[in-house]
Amino acid sequence: MRASDADNPAEVIDLLGVFAAGELSMFGRLAADATTMPTLPLRAELSAFAADEMARHRLLVDRLVELGSSPTQAMAPFMPTFDEFHARLAPATWLEALVKACIADGLAVDLYTAVAGWTDDAVTMEVVRRAGENPRKEAFLVEAAGSAIAQNPIQVGRQSLWARRLFGEVVARGQHLAAEHDGLGALVVGAGGTPGAGLAETLVVFEQVTVRHEERMKALGLNL
């Protein structure tokens, strides 16, 4: 049986650190993307979603403080990965920004919340669940981006390629983070509590994440 994360909190600190860094990164990107929107309602909605990300960031930071960890130190190892991701995948248009917010943010939350389920810390699992839940955001982005794509068929191919690139990059970054950071790696290796279970659990998670990605693609009217 795995040791409790309450006795060995490094895994929990890494998980909270990467999620808090991700939420902070989402805030900055959504706030910047809001200024590129072609209508005031779109600009207002993305600005509101950016504010939501800061509230979710605060939930994670507060949990880190409860565990006696420095939020800054917990997040610092992960921020370069998020900064590089957004630099490499800067949207060229407002529509790409909407698709990215739907696809990339949704995938990231799927991955983090799945891995959080491998901890023995029920409080942290609940905090991560609350921080990750935002069905209104995804529903709005699907409607806004899907409507724009439907009105311009040439965008189907372009945005399908963009979404597939986003999927590949998010998955690759997630694997890189798990490999490079001991706490996250320990969660993967220890998943299930028995030798070899981590690989099986990881494969299940990536299957689930792929299914969710395909559902988002279909909802947006994109080609798989």
Name the nearest CA neighbour of 108 among 136, 76, 86, 139.
86
pLDDT given for residue 182 in this prediction: 64
Identify the burial level of 177 via C-beta atoms within 10 angstroms of its C-beta, where 0-12 means exposed, 13-18 middle and 19 or more buried. buried
Taking phi over 0 as left and psi of -120 to 50 as alpha, with beta for the rest, 62 belongs to alpha
pLDDT given for residue 23 in this prediction: 92
pLDDT given for residue 141 in this prediction: 94
The first and second tokens of residue 29, run together, are 């990107």
What are the φ/ψ torsions at residue 5 (nearest 5 degrees)?
-70, -20
CB of 188 closer than 8 Å to CB of 203: no
pTM for this predicted structure: 0.84
Per-residue pLDDT of the chain (224 residues; tens, 9 = 90+): 333 444 557 788 988 998 999 999 999 999 999 999 999 999 999 999 999 999 999 999 999 999 999 999 999 999 998 999 888 999 999 999 999 999 998 888 887 777 777 777 888 888 888 888 888 898 999 999 999 999 998 999 999 999 999 998 888 887 777 777 766 666 655 544 444 445 556 667 778 888 889 999 999 999 88
The CATH fold of domain 10-220 = Ferritin (1.20.1260)
Q: Domain-by-domain residue ranges, the chain?
A: 10-220
CA torsion, points 87, 89, 95, 100, in degrees to nearest 10? -110
